[in-house]
Amino acid sequence: MMRALMLALGIVLMSGHVMAQTGPFERLKAIQGDPAALKAAVEAGKKAAFFCVNCHGDDGISKIPEVPTLSGQNSAYLLEQIRKFGSGERKDQFMQGLIKVLKDEERVQIASYYASIAVPPSPADAALVPRGKELFTKLCVRCHGDQAYGNELFPRLAGQHVTYLKKSIARYRDGTGIRNNQLMSIATSSLKNEDITAIANYLTQLP
Q: Which has more confidence, 145 or 4? A: 145
Other beta carbons less than 10 A from residue 49's beta carbon: 20
- Alpha-helix residue ranges (DSSP H) falling in the chain: 2-21, 24-32, 35-48, 53-56, 75-87, 93-99, 104-115, 129-139, 141-144, 162-174, 182-188, 193-204
Supply the pTM of this predicted model. Answer: 0.86
- On whether the CB atoms of residues 85 and 20 are closer than 8 A, the answer is no
Which residues are CB-neighbours of 183 under 8 A, at least 6 positions away? Answer: 143
User: How confident is the model at residue 13, as a pLDDT?
Assistant: 35
pLDDT in tens, 21-63: 469 999 999 999 999 999 999 999 999 999 999 999 999 999 9
CATH code assigned to 23-115: 1.10.760.10
**Which pLDDT band holds residue 2 (cuts at 50, 70, 90)?**
very low
Task: Tell me which residue of 86, 93, 162, 168 sits closest to 124, measured CA to CA.
Answer: 162
Which residues are CB-neighbours of 30 under 8 A, at least 6 positions away? Answer: 22, 37
User: How confident is the model at residue 52, as a pLDDT?
Assistant: 94
Distance CA 102, CA 48 (A): 9
| Domain ranges for the chain | 23-115, 129-204
Distance CA 69, CA 206 (A): 13
Q: Is 88 helix (H, G, I), strand (E, B) or coil?
A: coil
Please report, as a single letter, which amino acid is at residue 147. Q
Is the fold of 23-115 the same as that of 129-204?
A: yes
CATH code assigned to 129-204: 1.10.760.10
pLDDT in tens, 165-206: 999 999 999 999 877 789 999 999 999 999 999 999 999 999
Distance CA 155, CA 149 (A): 7
**Which pLDDT band holds residue 11 (cuts at 50, 70, 90)?**
very low
